[in-house]
């Protein structure tokens, strides 16, 4: 049997059953790729905004004599360090993707994000938290 696909009235494509199976398999691969990239974007977005609710409290915890009135500027540096790290590293990540492949670089970046997020959360000093947040970017 064959399957008829039509893009418009003038053009009709005929596919055999084995060709339609190839298209279905291709659709599954495309769906997996889109799902993986969507997950990567979700993780990166979460890393950017997740620190905002608690960064002031984190700064007060890591700097002993800091009060609530001055914690905001230190919290801003915590948020800023991520974007500064992203600014300086994005070009290098692009070159690495060209050299080693996009899939490998995305997997490596997600692995590093997971490890550096944990290390950032366990940082004992404010300076170490800034450094790990910078590397996380």
- Report the residue count for the chain: 137
Mean pLDDT, the chain, whole residue set:
82
Contact by Cβ (8 Å): 98, 110: no
pTM: 0.72
Angle at 98 between CA 92 and CA 101, to 5 degrees: 110
What confidence tier does 131 reach under pLDDT thresholds 50, 70, 90?
A: very high
Predicted confidence (pLDDT) per residue in 76-117, tens digit: 999 899 999 999 999 999 999 999 998 899 889 889 988 999
């Amino acid at each position: 049997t064959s399957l008829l696909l039509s893009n418009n009235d003038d053009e009709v494509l005929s596919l055999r059953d084995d060709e339609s199976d190839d298209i279905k398999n291709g659709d599954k691969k495309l769906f997996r790729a889109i799902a993986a990239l969507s997950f990567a974007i979700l993780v990166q977005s979460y890393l950017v905004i997740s620190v905002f609710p608690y960064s002031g409290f984190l700064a007060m915890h890591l700097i002993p004599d800091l009060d609530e009135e001055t914690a905001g500027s230190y919290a801003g540096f915590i948020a800023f360090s991520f974007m500064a790290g992203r600014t300086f590293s994005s070009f290098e990540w692009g070159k690495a993707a060209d050299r080693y492949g996009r899939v490998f670089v995305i997997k490596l970046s997600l692995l590093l994000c997971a490890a550096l997020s944990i290390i950032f959360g366990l940082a004992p000093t404010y300076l170490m938290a800034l450094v790990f947040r910078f590397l996380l970017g």
